[in-house]
A = this chain, B = another copy of it.
Amino acid sequence: MYTNNTIIKMVFDRWYALIKNCDTILDAITDEQLQKEIAPNRNRGTYLLGHLIAVHDDMLPLLGLGERQYPELTEPFIKSADKVVTQVPSAATLRAIWTKQCELLKQKFEAVKAEEWFEKHTAVSAEDFMNEPHRNKLNIILTRTTHLAYHTGLLALLK
């Protein structure tokens, strides 16, 4: 009653819906708003956007789709809390990177064959994958989709 394609569509429908949701928020706010804290003494919008970019960038090596494009964003946006690293890209730069990255990921994802989504990702050994077949490439998309949803709700507070 279902095919690989059905499952893949279910997961990517969610991924692209959340990306669109995030884009709608970004389009509705100015760079000045994006630089503000989402709530008093909380992360700034720029930190959340930088964090999403850094996490999504890491999907490339995890999925065997190439090297990270922005390795310099790991330190300020994954390893460090907001405001710890003072030298970070501007709101305008982060927006430009986000748009370019979404386009690159879309191209890369669309070139993956259906059956490849059920192969292991690069952070699991072939041995572990025998017993844990859910640790496949599609599961990376799924976990990053809920991660994106979590942070999209926070970014929406800037509106």
Contacts and interface: CB of A to CB of B under 8 A. Distances in A.
Contacts of A139: 10
Interface string A62-87: 00000000000000000000000000
**What DSSP secondary structure best describes chain A's contact surface?**
helix
Chain A interface category by residue count: 35 or more
Interface in A111-137: 115, 118-119, 133-134, 136
Among A7, A11, A134, the most chain B Cβ lie within 10 Å of the Cβ of: A7
Contacts of A7: 7
A57 B40 CA distance: 33
Contact of A154 (B40, B119, B134, B154): B154
Among A18, A38, A40, A133, the most chain B Cβ lie within 10 Å of the Cβ of: A133
Contacts of A149: 146-147, 149-150, 153
A85 B6 CA distance: 41
